[in-house]
Homo-oligomer: A and B are copies of this chain.
């Protein structure tokens, strides 16, 4: 069924039906009612593909995320999609993984959909992909971004500063020996670097670090405890790149009877529900993934509506002092 069918049924022209659906204020009350009732009666569903081609407005936004299997990204994407859906956009999902392989390929085919905007979690790695994005001439919001790569629009926080702040916080609480258990994705590595620098500023060193490929899991956290205890002096503190790793440590500590924070202090990252629910509750860094997703979405919507918006937005990343440090 096409728009012309509805038009015929309502005794108007195709464009009038189009207007009834897209710009009802242009029609007289009577016509509008007649057309809408025909639409309703016939169960007409407009072909958005055709509409997009004609109007050059696809009303689609592409979201490129490493994975949604990780709760942090899932939460962000959920919020992002909710807001955009409200604003009348559809979200096309691109799962890129953590390595840059196929990145350009993925971005290219998705750009072929003529999205009006794009969400990017983390940085674009390949220059080819970067060029493609630039050529697309659409707003790109980057979230969870590294400082290094400047996208068009950015919603996030400085991972390096977070690392440094955690270092300071732990020093202030009196810890003097430090370890890191971290995934080796670019954002985690930036936090680690900041952490290390923060320690250096205080004249302290990192005693041990353990890197592993993303995504991080509880099990990896559990497995990390034993080597950590070996390498780190008693009363040390460990900074984990994810609450999952931290919670894993906590669980294993429970099993082994290691007192937390007495024998080992733990700071996580992400403020996931699991951290809040553990006993003792996890000290962690809270970044509001939901807010970040919402902000990113609103950025795009505003920008597409022609409003001027700030190119950089910060969401706060704050250390939540709880029971494990």
Chain A residues at the B interface, C-beta cutoff of 8 Å: 43, 45-50, 52-53, 58, 60, 63, 67-69, 71, 74-75, 77-78, 81-82, 85, 90-95, 106, 108-114, 131-132, 135-136, 217-219, 221-222, 247-248, 251, 254-255, 273-274, 276-279
- The answer to whether B75 and A113 touch across the interface, beta carbons within 8 angstroms, is no
Are A254 and B276 within 8 A (Cβ)? no
CB atoms of A222 and B277 under 8 A apart: yes
B43, B48, B78: the one within 8 Å of A69 (CB):
B78
- A92 and B95 within 8 A (CB): no
A95 touches B110 (CB 8 A): no
**Chain A's interface: helix, strand, loop or mixed, by majority?**
helix
* Nearest chain B residue, comparing its CB with the CB of A114: B49
List the B side residues contacting A49 at CB < 8 Å. 49, 52-53, 58, 113-114
Task: Given A109-B90, A114-B48, A254-B254, verify A248-B219 contact (CB < 8 Å).
Answer: no
Contact of A93 among B71, B81, B110 (CB under 8 A): B81
Q: Which residue of B lies closest to A108 (CB)?
A: B45
Docked-complex contact B81 and A74, CB < 8 angstroms: no
Find the residue from A48, A60, A69, A106 having the highest chain B CB count within 10 A.
Answer: A69
Q: Which residues of B contact A58 (CB under 8 A)?
A: 49
